[in-house]
Amino acid sequence: MKVIFKITYPNGKIYIGKDLTDTLIYFGSADSKLIERDFTRAQKRDFTIRKEILWESETATDKEVNQKEIEYITLYNSNNPTVGYNRWPKFKG
């Protein structure tokens, strides 16, 4: 199963990612240093994130999944630095 997922961090910011193998504990490849800057040391001591599957397919090609990921990044505006942690495609706001 191939999936597109949304990660929601405690500050409300999101990250949209894809997983071509539907691995439960895969949380994408967001820039950890970028995320860490938004949290204090105390906040990092008890940190909960939410992972939601937004879309899944048993038959989509990798290319189709890549296109779907961009579609969801755009839909959720997660490449806007005030909204989320995706840095591609480049935000043009």
State both tokens at 69: 């990921």
User: pTM of whole model > 0.75?
Assistant: yes
Residues 22-40 pLDDT 10s:
999 999 999 999 999 999 9
* Residues near 23 by beta carbon (within 8 Å), at least 6 away in sequence: none
pLDDT at 68: 98
- What letter would DSSP give residue 12? S
**Averaged pLDDT, groups of 10, the chain, 93 residues long:** 98 98 94 96 97 98 98 98 96 86
**Backbone angles phi and psi of 36, in degrees to 5:** -60, -30
